[in-house]
Structure 1
Amino acid sequence: MPIVSMFFGIIVRMYADDHNSPHMHVEYQGSKAVYSLDGELLSGELPRKQHRLVQAWAAIHEEELQASWEVCHEGEQPMRIEPLR
């Protein structure tokens, strides 16, 4: 389960054998959610503050997330992406 980024207790992952459309899996203290690469919540739920942090981070790194998704689905490890600070 490759980790793409971690910030403020939030863990973002991408899976090589995952289905389309491009998305990321996000966890925070037992809460789980799936987001599109532009930060749209697709399923699950995070606390409001963490949801907003994920949306902001995704907006900043959307191009890198797309590149990571493509690399991941070519059988390689997804790229690490800079966390929020």
Structure 2
Amino acid sequence: MSRVATLYSDRNWKIKIYPDDHAPPHFHVQTPDGESLVEIDGFKVLGKGANPKALKAALAWAANHTADLQRVWNEQNRRS
């Protein structure tokens, strides 16, 4: 059984990918204020609960780690 993958953790935000999550491939940006979902392909923000400043920093990190995000999504969300 897969576990939640935390790809990056900063003081005020974390990037996580959950196992057996719904499409489209996405990651979660968690902040103390809330959480946003972001599509891996194109970084479209699907939910706007995260602190905007933290979300901007998370998107900057994600832009440099797209291949890692996609790889972890595929590992965590294998469909049989």
Structure 1 length as normaliser, TM-score? Answer: 0.75
Residue of structure 2 in register with 1:29 after alignment:
32
Residue of structure 2 in register with 1:14 after alignment:
17
Q: How many residues were matched structurally?
A: 75
Query: Deviations 1:17-74 (Å, cap 9, x if unpaired)?
Result: 1111100112111311111114321113222211210110111101110011111113
Alignment RMSD, CA only?
Answer: 1.8
Structure 2 length as normaliser, TM-score? Answer: 0.79
Aligned pairs (5 A) from 1:1-80: 1-37=4-40, 38-74=42-78
What runs of 5+ residues in structure 2 fail to find an aligned partner? Answer: none
What one-letter code is carried by the residue in structure 2 that aligns with 1:20?
Answer: A
Instruction: Give, in whole Å, the separation in 2 of the partners of 1:47 and 1:57.
Output: 15
What runs of 5+ residues in structure 1 fail to find an aligned partner? Answer: 76-85
Instruction: Give, in whole Å, the separation in 2 of the partners of 1:7 and 1:39.
Output: 19
